Amino acid sequence: MKLSVYQLIEVVKKEFTVSIRQQAVFVSILMFSLTALACISLAIGSANLESELLAALLWIIIFFASSAIDKTFDDEAITMLKIYGESQIILFGKMIYSLLSIILVSIFLIPLFIILFDVVIEEPLIFSITIILGLIGISSAGTLISAISSISSIKNGIFPILLFPIILPLFLPAINLTSQAMIGAEINFSLIIAMSIYNLILITATSILFDSLWY
């Protein structure tokens, strides 16, 4: 099916319009990120953490922040979105919205993380590529899980439970690459390739499975 750019933009605009009206959601996500970073920073004090642990902490905070963002499906939203096009239009529109939202949160979160933990990024390009690949995976898997959880009889708490095992194969190389970028170690480019391939698999699987949920 050919995707309409205009319809995709309309879906993304609609999602951001709803989000702006519900400012408390983004405020709570930002406050969670700030509180988590501050508490961890105060807890460790002046201790020097290894890069692997710092990288893991960063991705854990990103994961829980994204878990709140990706809860984008409900009965009212699905009914309203039907006017914008077929299921694939809705899927990719919401996926783009989710990705842009997580990027916005990360733009706030990552500089604070670097400042509070006194992190020096020796390889900023590799660090940026890793973050983007990780966020693409979270947004694609999160959109599908959000749709699944919206039709489940148990909605509260099911999202992160379903999302984590799907994202774990992406998190492991992301943590390794983030750690390597922090200390300037030799970059394992096969991990970047693995993340890219896994993202492609996630997006393809999400596209296929979403139609069976929609109809």
Range of the domain at 195: 5-214
* pLDDT tens series, the chain, 215 aa: 455 777 777 778 777 776 666 666 667 777 777 888 888 878 776 667 788 889 999 998 888 888 766 555 555 555 555 555 567 787 888 888 889 888 988 998 899 899 888 888 999 999 999 999 999 999 988 888 877 776 655 555 667 777 888 899 999 999 999 999 999 888 889 999 999 999 999 999 888 887 776 55
Listed in sequence order, the DSSP H helices in the chain are 5-21, 23-44, 51-69, 75-81, 87-116, 124-150, 158-183, 189-214
Coil/strand/helix, residue 12? helix
Length of the chain: 215
Structure tokens at 81: 């979105």
Domain count within the chain: 1
